[in-house]
Amino acid sequence: MTSQLLPPLRSSNPEAMKRPLLGWTLHDSIVIARSTILASFRIPEALFFQLIQPVIFVLLFAYVFGGAIPIPGAEPGTAADASLYRQYLMPGIFGQTVAFAAAASTVGLAEAMQKGIIDRYRALPMSQSAALIGNTFANALRQILVLTVLSITGYIVGWRIDAGILNAVYAYLLLLLFAYTVTWVGAYIGLSVPNTETANTAGLIWIFPLTFLSNAFVPLDGLPGFLKVFAAYNPISSLVLATRELFGNPTGYPPGAETGYWSLNNPILYTILTCGIAIAIFAPLAVRKYRRASRR
């Protein structure tokens, strides 16, 4: 290319689309979600490791802890106990995995911010919340793939759906709702941290205690007093318990037993409630951050 004039651009004048029935926010969110999903398939390595990580967790927990953690209903240390633990474990892994969906959102948005892409979006006449809605939605949708791979792995190690297909569908939907909720929290963190390096750790640091201080891998009975209360009201516990019930897996409680906590006696309702509250808090916060965002 030299510094001489290029031929004039001949395309016709821009034609604006009519405002769609459901408004620009939905349209723009779909555009962003589509691009985000498309982009994530362009990095097969990243996708591979995202899928392999929970699979490794399944194998680790199933074969290392299986048998070491007694589940009510079987003689400790027996083969029946180990198999029961895998049934008990899988919903825990599902819960942990969808909780980690938040980290992808944190890193993705911190990167978009650092690279100036958010600046570009904000200078476009697009809906100001669409970039976040699209991004969080795409992240949650990606969990469908992750949950599929995970379910197949679970099946191989002996996990079974025992309470009918419809309940299983509810369980998966609940997991996706939870994934969508935490991606909003992740988005807020991603827009708040100063750079992508921080995003890598800040995106994960809160998820670890949240998943381990729950009934995901061990029954709550072993926890000391105050941690037990925290774990009982931890929405990951209610999510995991709800999915255990919906999949027909061992819950860690004798059938019909009282858990002693409202959150665990009504795990589906409690999970939906906390998700609703968290979205109601973090979505507006994240959008506000986004509108004031500046490239750092």
3 binds another protein (CB under 8 A): yes
b/e code 181-206 from CB counts within 10 Å (16+ = b) = bbbbbbbbbbbbbeebeebeebbeeb
**Distance of closest approach, residue 17 Cβ to another protein, in angstroms:** 5
* Neighbour tally for 154: CB within 10 Å: 26
**Distance of closest approach, residue 147 Cβ to another protein, in angstroms:** 23
> Which of 88, 121, 170, 217 is the binder for another protein (CB under 8 A)?
121
Tokens of 168: 């299983």
17 binds another protein (CB under 8 A): yes
Comparing CB distances to another protein, the nearer of 12 and 255 is: 12
Comparing CB distances to another protein, the nearer of 39 and 169 is: 39
One character per residue 257-296, x = contact with another protein (rule: CB under 8 A): -------------------------------------xx-
Cα–Cα distance, 189 to 15 (Å, whole number):
38
Output DSSP code: residue 224.
-
Comparing CB distances to another protein, the nearer of 45 and 258 is: 45
Cα–Cα distance, 259 to 221 (Å, whole number):
10
- Residues 20, 13, 11, CA angle at the centre, nearest 5°? 120
Comparing CB distances to another protein, the nearer of 39 and 152 is: 39
22 binds another protein (CB under 8 A): no
255 binds another protein (CB under 8 A): no
254 binds another protein (CB under 8 A): no
> Which of 26, 47, 51, 117 is the binder for another protein (CB under 8 A)?
117
Stretch that binds another protein, among 66-74, 110-118, 191-199, 203-211 (CB under 8 A): 110-118
**Distance of closest approach, residue 32 Cβ to another protein, in angstroms:** 8
Cα–Cα distance, 32 to 112 (Å, whole number):
12
* Neighbour tally for 165: CB within 10 Å: 8
115 binds another protein (CB under 8 A): yes
Polymer length of the chain? 296
Kindly list the distances between the CA atom of residue 218 and the CA atoms of 87, 196, 197, 211, 229, in Å, as whole numbers in the listed order.
12, 33, 32, 11, 15
**89, containing H or E segment:** helix 79-99
Contact between 138 and 32 under an 8 Å Cβ cutoff? The reply is: yes
60 binds another protein (CB under 8 A): no
Binding stretches for another protein (CB under 8 A)? 1-17, 24, 27-28, 31-32, 35, 38-40, 42-43, 115-117, 119-126, 294-295
